[in-house]
Chain A
Amino acid sequence: MDFELTKAQEQFRKTIRGFTENEIRPIAGAVDRYEATVDDNIKKLAALHINGIAIPVEEGGAGGDHVCYAIACEEVAKACTSTATLVSAKLAGLLIEMLYYYGTPAQKEKYLQPFLQGELEGCFGLTEPEAGSDPGRLCTTAIKDGSNYIINGTKTFITGAPLADFAIVMASTNKSLGTKGITAFLVDCDTPGFSKGKPEQKMGQRGLPVGELIMKNVVVPETAIIGKEGMGFRLAMKSLDCGRLGIASVALGIAEGAYEAAVKYSKERVQFGAPICNNQAIQFMLTDMKMRIDAAQLLVYRAAVSKDKGSSSFPFEASMAKVYASEVAMFVTTKAVQIHGGYGYMNDYPVERMMRDAKLTEIYEGTSEIQRMVLARTILK
């Protein structure tokens, strides 16, 4: 049992923290206010070879591990959640796992390599207006036509859609089979019949581009299938676990960022002739925040270590980390606003933004309720 990071991981943390302080934190407030895209910083990070963090260098990755994946999401989220969520998708998670583990060499060369190098943007399309937690209700269809497939349907709330050059689209190739009839397709966004809805306006993470993918008679070749026909849902579920680790780390980072702001403010704010941190009411809040943060961090890092070890307990641990860390993020950011009092409610201080940002972590990449269902299934098995 050892809770120490390796020297490489320490250096990694120091570097991503420095980058965050210099490049990301100064613009975080403006990114939220003006719904600005954080493309520049994502490109700068790509040039520093952070993408595909756990993929070997020979295959275009950074040659690191998933502990560093967690650290990166955590450190960036302390300052800017919008950037952190995009970072989580560029370093590891759904899209990368789908392509890296199940893509053909040709698919990897055409999509994964340029994606990792920051030359091509991609997104993952599963959610539909009528199918979120219940993918069995998927309406997007892919009908076989000779050696091609014709895709029709709409994907909604797709992270990164407005920037995407390509999408992994989950479509039903056989409706009667339910989730076993779902197939994953790689679709170029400039294919005739493919269009995008306008970017969504959101409560939080307002710099995170999210939007719709609309497909009307989009023709793709057989070679666009990832894995085999009917395997799409299974592959996506496997890849989702890693994405959950990313979101758990993002949630952890938001909580830490809000906690740090609350500690600082409580020492500065003077009422009744003394800093408010002298009051037990404030001290107890800070203590409860810190305890939960440390517990969340242990869950997150344990899941990351399990992922690197290839442990079969990883999906369970990643889900648990995601539920817990996201609820800690909500708890801590709410308390941080409370400690800031009236100022906390104003956008001159970052904590109201963090509170809005935190809410999404309980929802995306599987809601807390779905996570608990999945966790219970494992517990009762």
Chain B
Amino acid sequence: MKLIVCIKQVPDTTEVKLDPKTGTLIRDGVPSIINPDDRAALEVALKMKDANLGTTVTVICMGPKQADAAVREALAMGADSAIIVSDRAFAGSDTWATANVISSAIQKIMDYDLVFCGRQAIDGDTAQVGPQIAERLNIPQVTYARSVKVLGDSRYEVCRELDDEQQIVEVTGPALITVVHGLEPIRYPDFRRIFQAYSGVFEVLNWSQEELKIDANKIGLKSSPTNVKCTFPPELRKSGIRLEGTNEEMVKQLFDNMLGEHILKRRA
């Protein structure tokens, strides 16, 4: 089997702070990580590789040059090769433009059985890119997956993890699967492979707009149909008030407060 995993490098939002004036992320000094759902997607692919001899895993990462670190980490975890899709022309792409770029990279690879994506990225949280890629490639998609079983004859059984139920669905490849993190343990990078990943043992390709032969009107900020109106940090919710006293006293306090906040109005 030939598996493709799309990953994104994101700021570690557990350590990120918002600039209170501009409402944008302060990225200075914030470590970058592989997006958690993407890491889970990679784990699902690597498990399939472990269980099926001759399976290869190729990682695709669209991003700036620094994305190299994310790709090397994926190789250390067990991916066989990687493609970094990077070009100034891609900067500012929204989900529509990003899906155009990544799907054209996948089309260039041509031969594949499954494409994996994380459900959504922790910086944008749109959960759109995976499904959009599937549409561009005109292949079936299964979203919110937890695990995948190989049934043979290009058929796969996918366990979907939804808010209040699990679904087992069958899909015929080539197909795209988006994966949810936090359900299955994820392997650590292998230490030996870390050193190999940085000494040229694995193939790492760099593809730009030129290699992908993609139209300028399908990529980048200018071609992105999404317009961000404004960004702002959410207002902090006020903490509640604890009422004390007898039931009657507390009910009186409650009504007084609600009147004070103009939630209730005294009848004239």
Enumerate chain A interface residues (CB-CB to B < 8 A). 6-8, 10-12, 14-16, 18-19, 48-50, 53, 57, 61-64
Contact = CB atoms under 8 A, between A and B. Distances in A.
B8 interface: no
Nearest to A65: B195
22 contacts: A8-B194, A8-B195, A8-B197, A10-B69, A11-B69, A11-B72, A12-B194, A12-B195, A14-B31, A15-B188, A15-B189, A15-B191, A18-B188, A19-B188, A48-B190, A49-B191, A57-B196, A62-B192, A62-B195, A63-B192, A63-B199, A64-B192
A8 B198 contact: yes
Given A8-B197, A50-B191, 10 more contacts: A7-B68, A8-B72, A11-B73, A12-B194, A12-B195, A15-B188, A15-B191, A15-B194, A16-B191, A49-B192
A53 B193 CA distance: 12
A48 B191 contact: yes
B76 interface: yes
A48 B69 CA distance: 19
Interface of B: 31, 68-69, 72-73, 76, 188-199
Secondary structure at the B interface, as helix, strand, loop or mixed, is: helix
A7 B69 contact: yes
Nearest to B72: A11
Given A7-B69, A11-B72, A11-B76, A53 B194 contact: no
A15 B69 CA distance: 13
B160 to A, nearest CB: 27
A149 B193 CA distance: 43
Contacts of B191: 12, 15-16, 48-50, 53, 62, 64
A8 B189 CA distance: 12
B198 A11 contact: yes
A64 B195 contact: yes
A53 B194 CA distance: 11
B188 A11 contact: no
Contacts of A57: 192, 195-196
Contacts of A19: 188
Contacts of A49: 190-193
Contacts of B190: 48-49
A180 B195 CA distance: 40
A64 B194 CA distance: 9
A61 B195 CA distance: 11
B11 to A, nearest CB: 15
Contacts of B188: 15, 18-19, 48
A63 B69 contact: no
Given A11-B69, A11-B72, A63 B195 contact: yes
B198 A7 contact: yes
A50 B191 CA distance: 5
Q: Report the 3 A-B pairs with minimum CB-CB distance, sorted nearest first.
A: A8-B198, A49-B192, A50-B191
A57 B73 CA distance: 18
A15 B31 CA distance: 13
